[in-house]
Chains A and B, each alone.
Chain A
Amino acid sequence: MTATEARPGETTRAAPVLNFEDVVLGFDGVTALNGVTFQVDPGELFAVIGPNGAGKTSIFNVLSGVYRPQRGTVRFGDEDLIGRRPHTIARLGIARTFQNIELFSNLTVLDNLMLGRHLHHPYGVLAALGWIGKARRNELANREAVEEIVDFLELAQWRRLPVGLLPYGVQKRVELGRALASQPKLLLLDEPVAGMNLEETEDMARFILDIRDELGLPMVMVEHDMGLVMDLADRIMVIDFGRPIRTGTPKEVATDPDVVRAYLGEEHRVVERS
């Protein structure tokens, strides 16, 4: 697999993978998203940043079908995502991780990853009861694919443990693995390094880079760790109060006076890092 080279700013862009257009989402009196528009290009790592409550996770929940916006269009390839139920969106090839880990904590790492492959090599209830022929073949095929993820994310030593017993950083990694196991066409990462120490953050950054380089997978990432975002992202969208302030390369965003005022603080400078 090769990474699709489509750098932002170029005049000839490939068709975007994801088209999020003028989305408005409100809960009674509160407006969570107020006209958010962005595109994600093939192979791109697109980051969304903003203060707490700015609507970052709401974008993800619209994308994965948990919330239904009042206005706007969301297109993934040729498919319209609005009004679809989450499991049919997963079927289109969108996988996500959650801000607060949403693993199946009673199940082992292997079972969690196998669940990531729920839609691959499916078989029915009757086949499952017999565990012969198709069911067995498909289970073995999925197991083989899962072991590749185990290798890729260096999870071998925890394979058989229930994820509830694992350290926080490893759980985050298992969740990433579960999303990857579904062989998605778009990966949504909701704060992949939230609450991690430096070492764990660096591990995660390495995995994210590996995913981009080896799989060429377009990603949307919500993150508070500015250093990580500036280092990894191709383009960044800054939102505040459900409204996009600026979208651009890390350099453009970091020097934008509106962004600096709204989010980074008056005195903050991160330009040197990129």
Chain B
Amino acid sequence: MTARTGRPLLYLSYGQDMALLNTSAKRGWTLVLAIGAVALPFLLTDDLLVVLATACVASIGAIGLNIVTGYGGQVSLGHAFFLGIGAYTAAAISGDPDSTRLIGFGITSVPIWLLGAGLVAGLAGLIVSPLAARLRGLYLAVVTLGLVFIGEHIFKHWKHLTGGVGVGRPAAVPELFGIQFAVDGEVFTKAQKLYLLMLVLLVIFGVLARNLVRSRVGRALAAVRDRDLAAEVIGVDVTRYKLIAFAVSSFYAGVAGALLYVMIGFVEPGSFNLALSVQYIAMILIGGVATISGSVLGALFITLLPRVTRELPAVLPFISSSSGSGGITVFQVETILYGLLIIGFLIFEPRGLFGIWNRLRTYWKSWPFSH
């Protein structure tokens, strides 16, 4: 550590070289980013903070999808299913135990229902993962698509758990060390508290995922994705690693699902549909496949997009904000934009926002020599 002063890029041990933040630039920018993120609640309005908190949660979900699809190379359209499992597990664990209408156990401590949601979703992932061991590519995508429809059916009809269509049930109650996050406090508003909670959780789950993908497990996943035969010949148990990818990914989805509806305070069984899965696919494609920071960028982008399109009717008169008055609605514009963005990124920047960031970084590193 001490030898680093003066010659910041001189590594004296492999430990220094392999550290997560192994250059002074990375350390500096991470600090700036951290300070910025913590300062935001005091600079932004509450409704923007709620959007950002949602983006943090979506990031956790996108990281999960990126582990199985980006690193593991197994295209999954079933993410909404696992998000749903997480949401309902958390809602049930923290739900009102006295209710006669809904299942509830009344345990509102965040770590407990969060872990419960992750584990139950992870277990579900483990159960369906043998499919992944036998199928690949489009076949796997179609089978996981089936999961979404099965999930939708169950969520709509298991009224004791989900409340049923059009009724729904309250989302998980976030409480930690006696602090209620979902109600306004004396010092912090509800939005400020929720944002900070989600930010901390994103950092925790982001760092864990980053560790996983740079470890032997992450390398083995990439090996299975790139060449499964070669992977097997060097000793990687392909079936086992496909299993791990699905289980970890579903765990992340479960955690994200549990948190996703905390901001709204309400879960509707119809929300876990194909469109939600596609949203997450869009996040990792736009953010950057097989990168953790790309997942976060993509999630931010997709979550902030509706916020931007909502402003469109004021600027472009042919777009209306409700379906009653002719022209196209903001919701249609949103859907079209998803499509266009996915196509655009796939054609022009397959490495996503992370790729653009990478190119900028290389440009400034070598500035003023562009090549």
Which A residues have a C-beta under 8 Å from some C-beta of B? 64-66, 85-87, 89-91, 95-96, 98, 102-107, 111, 114-116, 118-119, 122-123, 125, 127-131, 135-136, 138-140, 142-144, 147, 178-179, 182
Contacts and interface: CB of A to CB of B under 8 A. Distances in A.
B211 A131 contact: yes
B226 A106 contact: yes
Interface string B198-228: 0000000000110110111111101100110
Nearest to B218: A128
B215 A131 contact: yes
Given A87-B237, A106-B222, A128 B215 contact: yes
B212 A125 contact: yes
Interface in B270-303: 290
Contacts of A64: 233
Contacts of B229: 66, 86, 102
B184 to A, nearest CB: 35
Nearest to B247: A125
Contacts, number: 106
20 contacts: A86-B233, A89-B233, A90-B232, A103-B227, A104-B226, A106-B226, A115-B223, A115-B231, A118-B219, A118-B234, A122-B216, A125-B212, A125-B248, A128-B217, A129-B208, A130-B211, A131-B215, A136-B15, A139-B216, A140-B15
B203 to A, nearest CB: 14
Specify the main secondary structure of chain A where it touches its partner: helix
A104 B215 contact: no
B68 to A, nearest CB: 14
Contact of A125 (B226, B232, B236, B244): B244
B43 interface: no
B14 interface: yes
B212 A129 contact: yes
B166 interface: no
List 9 A-B pairs, minimum CB-CB distance, nearest first: A90-B235, A128-B215, A102-B230, A131-B211, A104-B226, A86-B232, A119-B235, A129-B208, A128-B217
B218 A116 contact: no
A142 B14 CA distance: 10
Contacts of A102: 227, 229-230, 233
B227 A139 contact: no
B18 interface: yes
B52 interface: no
A171 to B, nearest CB: 13
A64 B230 CA distance: 11
A104 B217 contact: no
B212 A139 contact: no
Contact of B219 (A105, A115, A123, A135): A115
Contacts of A136: 15
Given A86-B233, A95-B233, A142-B216, 4 more contacts: A104-B222, A107-B226, A129-B211, A131-B215
Contacts of A85: 232
Contact of A103 (B14, B230, B237): B230
A147 B14 CA distance: 10
B238 interface: yes
A106 B15 CA distance: 24
Given A118-B219, A128-B215, A139-B18, A87 B235 contact: yes
A90 B237 CA distance: 10
Contacts of A144: 14
A64 B233 CA distance: 7
A60 to B, nearest CB: 10
B222 to A, nearest CB: 6
Nearest to A116: B234
Contact of B236 (A95, A106, A118, A128): A118
A163 to B, nearest CB: 10
A185 B214 CA distance: 28
Nearest to B230: A102
Contact of A115 (B20, B209, B236, B238): B236
A249 to B, nearest CB: 30
Nearest to A146: B14
B234 A128 contact: no
Contacts of B248: 125
B63 to A, nearest CB: 12
A270 B231 CA distance: 39
B217 A105 contact: no
A144 B209 CA distance: 24
A118 B212 contact: no
B230 A128 contact: no
A130 B208 contact: yes
A211 B290 CA distance: 36
Contacts of B219: 107, 111, 114-115, 118
Contacts of B233: 64-66, 86-87, 89-90, 95-96, 102
Nearest to B244: A125
A178 B232 contact: no
Q: Which of A66, A90, A98 has the most CB of B within 10 A?
A: A90
